Amino acid sequence: MGSSFKSPADTAKAMVGIAGTKQNSSIINTIILSFFAGAYIAFGGLLAEIVTTGMAAPEFPAGLVKLFFGAVFPVGLMLVVIAGSELFTGNNMYMTFGVLTGKATAGGLVKNWVVSWVFNFVGALFVAYVLATATGLMTAPTVVNGTETFPFAVKAVSVAAPKIKLGFTEALLRGIGCNWLVCLAVYLAIASDDIIGKILGIWFPIMAFVAIGFEHSIANMFFLTLGVFMGERNIAAAGADPNLVTITWQGVFNNLIPVTIGNIIGGAIFVGFLYWFVYLRGQKIE
């Protein structure tokens, strides 16, 4: 009976093959699949916010809320990996393997990263505005003791606000930790040859990075833009700390820039380069 998973070295070789496929993908396919990936990650973020709305101290310890948030968020990467799409953060690893083994070019890497980042943003923005805001899901009121509140909107703002308050170095370092774990999740998923193995391989590292509090650029494209939309409509002000309702587009990019740089370092260096160095250095990959 054959093994249902690949060795770490064989997984590294599989990464090279995937990088070659991405290098040769048409621009329209990359655009569509990048849109999907941004939307899929946003679905996970939206689910996590809805599930944890109303969970707060003292009834729920802060760590437990983080655990619940992290427990449901991984559905996004499951969709990305199993259904197929182009996720910028995973591509940081894939394309690094490709360039180092000659299966991809530096130009192909740059094109893939730029297109996937931009259209991941479009997908995340679509879910944040069309499916979370325009549908009324996150702006739905709740009446408590005769008072109308907006718990889902408040949750969205409370998730986004701390992110835009991070300093550049803090955001960058959290970005490194995040994509180190995200790319390891992808690595484990590729190592498995069955669906259940892929799901478990994805779930644990993604749950970990979210519960720890690391920063994912594509997830933040959803969390931060949703926070902007909630603040613009002044819904989050009901029952929320006024200091939280200060999310601006400038704040969005002040977070995304260092987090994106950190994600590149975490995925390209800590996973792509170092696993290539250990397992594939000096080998000719067919």
Please count the other Cβ atoms lying within 10 Å of the Cβ belonging to residue 135. Answer: 11
Could you tell me the fold of the domain covering 8-279? Glycerol uptake facilitator protein (1.20.1080)
Mean pLDDT of the region 260-272: 98
Model confidence pLDDT, tens digit, residues 206-226? 999 999 999 999 999 999 999
Residue 235 has a pLDDT of 53
Model confidence pLDDT, tens digit, residues 131-179? 999 999 998 888 777 777 788 988 998 899 899 999 999 999 999 999 9
Please count the other Cβ atoms lying within 10 Å of the Cβ belonging to residue 278. Answer: 11
The encoded tokens of residue 200 equal 């478990």
What is the DSSP code string of 204-255? Answer: HHHHHHHHHT---HHHHHHHHHHHHHHHHTT-TTTTS-GGG----HHHHHHH
Q: Largest alpha-carbon pair distance within the chain?
A: 71
Residue 242 has a pLDDT of 52
CB of 92 closer than 8 Å to CB of 272: yes
Model confidence pLDDT, tens digit, residues 10-69? 999 999 999 999 999 999 999 999 999 999 999 999 999 999 998 887 788 989 999 999
| 108 pLDDT more than 90 | yes
Percentage of residues in the chain having pLDDT higher than 70: 94
Closest to 247 in 3D by CA, of 224, 267, 270, 215: 224
H-type helices in the chain, by residue range? 8-23, 27-52, 62-72, 75-78, 88-101, 106-126, 151-164, 168-191, 195-212, 217-232, 249-264, 274-279
d(CA 183, CA 178): 9
CB of 80 closer than 8 Å to CB of 124: no
Closest to 120 in 3D by CA, of 41, 223, 19: 41
Rg (CA), the chain: 19
- 73: three-class secondary structure by DSSP: coil
Handedness of CA 159, 74, 135, 83 (dihedral sign): positive
d(CA 22, CA 32): 13
d(CA 97, CA 9): 12
